[in-house]
């Protein structure tokens, strides 16, 4: 009787442990309920607004993942940030079997159209390669997406925050790419993140609407680069009124002295809202910055904290 009881207790503990990790488990070896991330997402009921956690075991999941606009509060939790990888290699200009041609908006590895998305401890990668052109890893159209301890990686146009008027939060994430690899019209806070450049180019390409006070706000982030990279701007305006602010960020020597780029259009200098506060490191040269950018006062910087930017929304609380 005791051996049977012991086995029962072990099975119960295993089940409870799996339940604590997530409502569903994805594993390539068949040990979870699903073998693909998309299959698990499709199991979330349409119209859902209750948090649904999908635990993803280690593995490289070669698939395009879409969280549609009827599925909200989806949580993706990886077993290990660097060993739980969702990837594909789609890129702008690629022709699909049905005859459609992929563009920047449709090139992503992961699409998030639902609201209140969360992701932790995983990598989202577009591995189309350096010469493929625009190839998005993560595109977010819904609002209130929050990612923690994630790696978002690719080359050109990696993180596309496309929804105007939406708010997002990234904490302790690594985001890496070549050209304009953080871009879009949304408002987003990046806190304690590593922003890594793989090529001489530009970090951000904001398209902030004039009606939005904030665009991309980087707080206590570290800007790094590959060893052969030595000429990177903090950003350039994709649209007039682009807003990007760096607060207490450490900048490597790859950041150009002038800091910013006008996208070969002097008219952008009159509308772009580019600013810094207490940048440090060899790339921090406030006296040499573009005359049309700003160095914030302490009072102004205090108004750019995560609480001020995100308002009532408290990610991960």
| 170-202 pLDDT tens trace | 999 999 999 999 999 999 999 999 999 999 999
Catalytic residue among 29, 180, 226, 261: 180
Q: Which residues, listed in sequence order, are joined to residue 188 by a DSSP beta bridge?
A: 168, 216
Domain boundaries, the chain: 2-310
Q: 75 near 52, Cβ under 8 Å?
A: yes
HSE, side-chain direction, 13 A CA sphere, residue 24: 21
Query: In this predicted structure, what is the pLDDT of residue 11?
Result: 37
> Which helix (H) or strand (E) covers residue 171, if one does?
strand 167-171
232 vs 211: CA distance, rounded Å: 28
Instruction: Please write the tens of the pLDDT for every residue from 294-306.
Output: 999 999 999 999 9
Query: In this predicted structure, what is the pLDDT of residue 96?
Result: 87
142 vs 193: CA distance, rounded Å: 22
Is residue 157 flagged as an active site residue? yes
Q: Which residues, listed in sequence order, are joined to residue 174 by a DSSP beta bridge?
A: 151, 194
> Which helix (H) or strand (E) covers residue 84, if one does?
strand 84-88
Using CA atoms, how far residue 85 sits from 143, 152, 242, in Å, is 23, 10, 32
Helices (H) and strands (E) in the chain — how many of each?
Answer: 4, 26
Q: 217 near 190, Cβ under 8 Å?
A: yes
Provide the CATH topology of domain 2-310: Pectate Lyase C-like (2.160.20)
Query: In this predicted structure, what is the pLDDT of residue 14?
Result: 41
The residues, ordered by sequence, that sit 6+ positions from 52 with a Cβ below 8 Å of its Cβ are 23, 24, 44, 73, 74, 75
Mean pLDDT by 10 residues, the chain (317 residues): 41 40 89 98 96 98 98 98 98 91 96 99 95 95 99 98 98 98 99 99 99 98 98 99 99 99 98 99 98 98 97 92
Q: 221 near 254, Cβ under 8 Å?
A: no
111 vs 245: CA distance, rounded Å: 26
Query: In this predicted structure, what is the pLDDT of residue 230?
Result: 98
Query: In this predicted structure, what is the pLDDT of residue 267?
Result: 98
42 vs 32: CA distance, rounded Å: 15
Query: In this predicted structure, what is the pLDDT of residue 13?
Result: 40
Query: In this predicted structure, what is the pLDDT of residue 317?
Result: 81
111 vs 130: CA distance, rounded Å: 21
232 vs 18: CA distance, rounded Å: 45
Catalytic residue among 127, 157, 220, 226: 157
Helices (H), 266-311: 298-302, 306-310
Q: How large a percentage of the chain has pLDDT more than 70?
A: 93
Structure tokens at 223: 């800007």
């Amino acid at each position: 009787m005791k051996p049977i009881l012991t086995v029962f207790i072990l099975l119960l503990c295993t089940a409870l442990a799996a339940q604590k990790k997530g409502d569903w488990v994805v594993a390539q070896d068949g040990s979870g309920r699903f073998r693909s991330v998309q299959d698990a997402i499709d199991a979330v009921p349409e119209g859902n607004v209750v948090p649904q956690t999908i635990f993803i075991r280690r593995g490289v999941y070669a698939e395009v993942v879409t969280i549609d606009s009827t599925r909200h509060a989806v949580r993706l939790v990886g077993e290990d940030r660097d060993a739980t990888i969702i990837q594909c290699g789609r890129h702008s200009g690629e022709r699909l079997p049905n005859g459609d041609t992929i563009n920047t908006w449709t090139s992503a590895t992961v699409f998030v159209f639902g609201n209140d998305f969360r992701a932790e401890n995983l990598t989202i990668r577009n591995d189309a390669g350096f010469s493929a052109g625009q190839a998005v890893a993560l595109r977010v159209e819904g609002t209130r997406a929050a990612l923690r301890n994630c790696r978002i990686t690719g080359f050109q146009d990696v993180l596309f925050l496309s929804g105007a008027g939406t708010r997002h939060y990234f904490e302790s994430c690594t985001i890496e790419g070549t050209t304009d690899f953080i871009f879009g019209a949304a408002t987003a806070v990046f806190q304690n993140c590593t922003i890594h450049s793989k090529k001489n180019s530009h970090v951000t390409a904001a398209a902030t609407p004039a009606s939005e006070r904030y665009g991309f706000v980087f707080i206590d982030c570290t800007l790094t680069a590959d060893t052969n990279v030595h000429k990177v701007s903090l950003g350039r305006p994709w649209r007039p009124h682009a807003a990007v602010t760096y607060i207490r960020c450490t900048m490597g020597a790859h950041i150009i002295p002038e800091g910013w780029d006008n996208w070969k259009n002097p008219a952008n200098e009159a509308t772009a809202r580019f600013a810094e506060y207490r940048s440090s490191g060899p790339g921090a040269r406030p006296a040499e910055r573009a005359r049309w950018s700003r160095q914030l006062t302490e009072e102004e910087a205090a108004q750019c904290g995560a609480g001020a930017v995100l308002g009532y929304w408290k990610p991960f609380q």
